């Protein structure tokens, strides 16, 4: 089940928490509950991504991104993610969820997120997310204008650009009559 109560708590705390600069890192403290774990018992691989939603929510509210999206009646969408799992996270663990925007291109914002436990990175993800307007992706520059951040364009880290390039090399689904 989606963590609606946790989402509400994170959004409320973010609304009354200190503002963050667009380049800053959001840090959310979480506790791992039985609903987060699988049969092994550790945080389920899909739940890592669900928990990472909370970090993007916190960052969006605290930077003013969320306010601009709502003011313009836009939506948010995830267009891709690459996750690496490094260490197990057992139930009832206290973790830190770290989120920051590492860059953007014309269509997408790129988030780097980490779940840490006792100073160790347990999972890390690169998430491509966009803003939707009337069922289509809104140009990133238009979104930045709505936030009074026109021209914000840090150079994409090399590893992010490599992921973008790799994503664009193989169409999916494969063309008819060709093997993947």
pLDDT the model gives residue 169: 65
Q: What is the CATH number of the domain that holds 66?
A: 3.10.129.10
Residue 143 clears pLDDT 70, i.e. is over it? yes
Residue 175 lies in a domain: no
Residue 174 lies in a domain: no
pLDDT digits (tens, 9 = 90+) for 75-97: 999 999 999 999 999 999 999 99
Residue 177 lies in a domain: no
Residue 171 clears pLDDT 80, i.e. is over it? no
Domain coverage including residue 92: 4-168
Residue 33 clears pLDDT 70, i.e. is over it? yes
Residue 178 lies in a domain: no
Residue 155 lies in a domain: yes
> What total number of domains does the chain contain?
1
Question: Percent of the chain at pLDDT above 70?
Answer: 93
Long-range contacts of 39-44 (CB under 8 A, 24+ apart): 40/88, 41/90, 41/91, 42/88, 42/89, 42/90, 42/91, 43/88, 43/89, 43/115, 43/122, 43/123
Long-range contacts of 156-161 (CB under 8 A, 24+ apart): 156/102, 156/103, 156/104, 156/105, 156/110, 157/102, 157/103, 160/102, 160/103, 160/110, 160/112, 160/126
């Amino acid at each position: 089940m989606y963590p609606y109560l946790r989402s509400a708590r994170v959004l409320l705390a973010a609304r009354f928490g200190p503002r963050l600069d667009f380049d800053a890192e959001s840090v959310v403290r979480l506790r791992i509950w039985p609903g987060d774990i699988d049969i092994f018992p550790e945080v389920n691989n899909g739940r890592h991504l669900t928990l990472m939603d909370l970090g993007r929510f916190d960052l969006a509210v605290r930077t003013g991104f969320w306010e601009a999206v709502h003011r313009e009646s836009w939506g948010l969408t995830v267009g891709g993610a690459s996750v690496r799992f490094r260490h197990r996270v057992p139930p009832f663990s206290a973790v830190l969820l770290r989120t920051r925007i590492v860059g953007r291109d014309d269509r997408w914002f790129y988030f780097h997120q980490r779940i840490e436990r006792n100073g160790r990175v347990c999972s890390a993800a690169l998430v491509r997310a966009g803003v939707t307007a009337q069922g289509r992706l809104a140009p990133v520059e238009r979104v930045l204008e709505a936030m009074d951040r026109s021209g914000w364009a840090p150079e994409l880290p090399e590893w992010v650009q490599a992921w973008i390039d790799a994503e664009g090399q193989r169409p999916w689904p494969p063309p008819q009559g060709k093997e993947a």
